[in-house]
Amino acid sequence: MPTKVENWKDEVYGNEIRDHLMEFAEQGWESIPEDEQDAWFERFKWWGLYHQRSGQESYFMMRIGTPNGVIEPGQLEVIAEVADEYARGPAENPEFGDAYCDWTTRQSIQLHWIKLEDIPEIFDRLESVGLGTQQACGDSWRNIVGCPVAGKDKHEHIDAWPVAEELHETFKGNDEYSNLPRKWKVAVTGCDQGCGQGDINDLAYEPATKEIDGEEKLGFNVRVGGGLSRKEPRFSRSIDVWVPPEQAADVGAGMSALFREYGDRDDRFNARIKFLVDEWGTEKMRSVLQDEFVDFELPTAGENMRESYTYNAGGDEHGDHVGVHEQPDGNYYVGLNVLVGRMGVDDVYELADLADEYGSGEVRLTQRQNVIVTDVDSDRSDEFLDEPLLENYEADPHPFMRGSIACTGTEFCSLSIVETKNRQVRYARWLKDNVAVPDGVEDFHIHLSGCTASCAQPQIADISLRGMKTRKDGEPVEALDIGLGGGLGENPHFADWVEMRVPADEVPGYVENLLATFEDQREGGQTFREFIAERDEETLQDLAEAEETDYEDPYMHNTKMTWYPYVEDDDMQSSPAPTNGEGEPLQPADD
Amino acid sequence: MTTDVHQLDDGAWVSVNDSREVNVSNLWLLARSDFCGCELTDFLAEGFVDVSVDHPNIEARMAGRCIACGTEGVTDWLQVGRVIDPESGEFCAIDPESVHFPDKRRRLARPQK
């Protein structure tokens, strides 16, 4: 039997939601009938709006999808203006202030505290410069991800940006593919380093050569069924198909139509295509795609380039895009580290100005929550590096600052079990000040995800942290499960979960002890990932002890039970929400 | 009115009559449960996988873990609250910190005493 969500989608979904959204916005928060809120919140996701958690009623998270993370000249300033004007909530975050942008692991942008009444103006502002929120969430083609420097990378074989752009234009707002059984995440990789992260996407295009009519052609091998969520992580699997760039959209259409027709609409927990690949196997995926969803013969897979993948592969070649790198045209791209992906709005304005002054005005987002200023004049890169903004967003950051990723957490998210972003900031700073970096390590990945949805992609980090709870001195406290040794590369590997339910204030002590053991026991130039990979489960569990240190964690209590974790009076009953369009608290109906 | 229940947002919520009522991330104390070997299961709810009505009770099966012994899995049916006014559909949630008795036989006929 179709789920309730499917029934709501049958009634109204896709493009048509917008008219309703605008009408509600015009009439104000209270115009959404209480008994229709669940249905409308589910539908609003399709337009990039996610209702915030308990205690923050009437406020939304807004996600702006920027395909391949490309923020074109002129767009970043508008993003900053929108954040500045409309993403200011009733309380301040002690680390980031009261207006900020989040750069996400899928090269998108998230703003918080958005009021329904402001949405028409926000859409106007965004759309005036070609930005939008359409399909940023919901059951459809999501923001296309890929090599963040596509078209400007010396390592690329195919410029993946036009392909990503074509997919974006073909499937955004396309009614044929607007109502899928579940989200549909697509990655396009054009380089030989693997930085599109195709292994963890529903549909992945990976560079490959193929002899066609006696001539070697460049195109993509197709992989399907990757994803990290719900303790059911899967790497995408090859379906033995090669596609030339000009037919990438046709194969994407066919595969997403296959998902539309055969995906599980009766059980949302079983709906992602990774489960259909589990059930069918890759041969059947290929044959059904060929027989029912494309009208040309699919070539078998070509020669891939996975052997040379170095992105997040555990070595020191290419863990991210931070730093100064020469483009094929002689200019430079400069990757800047953004700790946990959050940037205060004044800094976003400044970044936009610097991109204009030193480069083309283009800024790109990476899948490691960082930003890249592209097209920096070859003779001005040193001058750029001296800009004051780069003191906080460094091009050569400390390894613990560089590798820190965190999801939204209980600050705003209904699913999360623990506080994440501010905690990870505190972790990174403490580690930087107190823990010796193992010899030769320049890029050490610590990903903190508040729950099993895995938005911070914890399973592909050196140290994976996932929200949990435990009791300490009898009292419930926020805790983390700890996994080790995950990463991508030619042979990707999900982290092995080795320490469970570690009180959050003991995690830095665990990391300190773990890295001391690593430094002590590693052989030669062994990388951390190699060190973990050669040990069995029992040995891994004995590697280090968690312990308290002088690290202080102000978020040990149940942050989910507060209306906002950082305010003095955080009691749920003290929440000003819901509010009207002016941000003024609405009186309860029976007062 | 009839009582309408469902889970929402990837199992983050139990919704009762289209109102988000019970959220994940609470600890539930389970007694006489065969979820794990603990006398009292100290269960962290990570997601709601099934929701049902057994008037006037609202029940759910939750995915999660005993934070004492680490056993992971899905609970039997557990009361999460009840509809206290069938006319208005008003819902009253149960305090997760009280002791609960999961019931795997909810859908079966109960033997006569």
Listed in sequence order, the residues at least 6 apart from A149 whose beta carbon sits closer than 8 Å to its beta carbon are A156, A321, A325, A327, A333, A364, A372, A374
- A positions 390-429 inside 8 Å of B (CB): 410, 414-417
Chain A's closest residue to B20, CA to CA, is A38
List the single residue in B6, B15, B27 with the smallest CB-CB distance to A476. Answer: B27
In chain A, CATH 3.30.70.3340 sits at 323-397
* Contact state of B10 with A54 under an 8 Å Cβ cutoff: no
Q: Does A481 touch chain B (CB under 8 A)?
A: no
Residues of B in contact with A468 (CB under 8 A): 44, 65, 67
How many angstroms separate the Cα of B79 from the Cα of each of B14, B46, B59, B82, B93? 12, 16, 4, 8, 9
* Contact state of B19 with A453 under an 8 Å Cβ cutoff: no
Q: Which of A341, A403, A405 is nearest to A528 (CA)?
A: A403
User: Helices A160-171 and A248-262, interaxial angle, to 10°?
Assistant: 40
Domain boundaries, chain B: 5-100
Q: Does A469 touch chain B (CB under 8 A)?
A: yes
* Chain centroid to CA A454: 9
Sequence-ordered alpha helix ranges (H) in A12-157: 17-27, 37-44, 75-86, 119-127
List the single residue in B6, B13, B46 with the smallest CB-CB distance to A414. Answer: B13
- The CATH number for A402-557, chosen from 3.30.413.10, 3.40.50.1820, 2.40.30.60, 3.30.390.30, is 3.30.413.10
CA B103 to chain A, closest CA, distance in angstroms equals: 23
pLDDT band, residue B87 (cuts 50/70/90): confident
- H/E stretch holding B36 reads none
List the single residue in A38, A54, A469 with the smallest CB-CB distance to B67. Answer: A469
In chain A, CATH 3.30.413.10 sits at 150-308, 402-557
Q: Does A209 touch chain B (CB under 8 A)?
A: no
Q: What are A250-295's pLDDT values in tens digits? A: 999 999 999 999 999 999 999 999 999 999 999 999 999 999 999 9
Q: Is there a contact between A342 and A101 (Cβ–Cβ < 8 Å)?
A: yes
CA A48 to chain B, closest CA, distance in angstroms equals: 14
Determine the pLDDT at residue A282. 98
Determine the pLDDT at residue A368. 96
Phi and psi, residue A239, nearest 5°: -110, 20
List the single residue in A36, A229, A414 with the smallest CB-CB distance to B18. Answer: A36
Q: Does A54 touch chain B (CB under 8 A)?
A: yes
Chain B's closest residue to A5, CA to CA, is B8
Name the stretches of chain A with pLDDT < 50.
Answer: 589-591
Residues of B in contact with A476 (CB under 8 A): 27
* Contact state of A38 with B19 under an 8 Å Cβ cutoff: yes
Q: Is there a contact between A267 and A281 (Cβ–Cβ < 8 Å)?
A: no
Listed in sequence order, the residues at least 6 apart from A186 whose beta carbon sits closer than 8 Å to its beta carbon are A141, A142, A144, A145, A167, A201, A202, A203, A204, A205, A252
* Contact state of B18 with A54 under an 8 Å Cβ cutoff: no
List the single residue in A414, A469, A500 with the smallest CB-CB distance to B23. Answer: A414
The complex's ipTM works out to 0.88
Q: Which residue's entry shows tokens 């002016």?
A: A582
* Contact state of A452 with B46 under an 8 Å Cβ cutoff: yes
**pLDDT above 80: residue B112:** no
Q: Specify the CATH superfamily of domain A150-308.
A: Sulfite Reductase Hemoprotein, domain 1 (3.30.413.10)
CA B111 to chain A, closest CA, distance in angstroms equals: 30
Determine the pLDDT at residue A591. 42
Residues of A in contact with B15 (CB under 8 A): 38
Listed in sequence order, the residues at least 6 apart from A269 whose beta carbon sits closer than 8 Å to its beta carbon are A230, B10, B11, B49
Q: Does A578 touch chain B (CB under 8 A)?
A: no
Q: What is the third-level CATH fold of A323-397?
A: Alpha-Beta Plaits (3.30.70)
Residues of A in contact with B27 (CB under 8 A): 469, 476
In chain A, CATH 3.90.480.20 sits at 4-127
Chosen from A1, A51, A230, A469 to mutate, greatest number of chain B CBs within 10 A: A469
CATH of domain A4-127: 3.90.480.20
**pLDDT above 80: residue B103:** no
**pLDDT above 80: residue B107:** no
Determine the pLDDT at residue A530. 96
Q: Is there a contact between B3 and B17 (Cβ–Cβ < 8 Å)?
A: yes
Determine the pLDDT at residue B110. 43
Query: How many CB pairs below 8 Å do chains A and B form together?
Result: 73
* Contact state of B67 with A39 under an 8 Å Cβ cutoff: no
* Contact state of A417 with B24 under an 8 Å Cβ cutoff: yes
How many angstroms separate the Cα of A538 from the Cα of each of A495, A541, A542? 15, 5, 7
The residues on B that touch A, with CB distances below 8 Å, are 6, 8-13, 15, 17-20, 23-25, 27, 42, 44, 46-47, 49, 65, 67-68, 70, 72
* Contact state of B12 with A558 under an 8 Å Cβ cutoff: no
pLDDT band, residue B104 (cuts 50/70/90): low
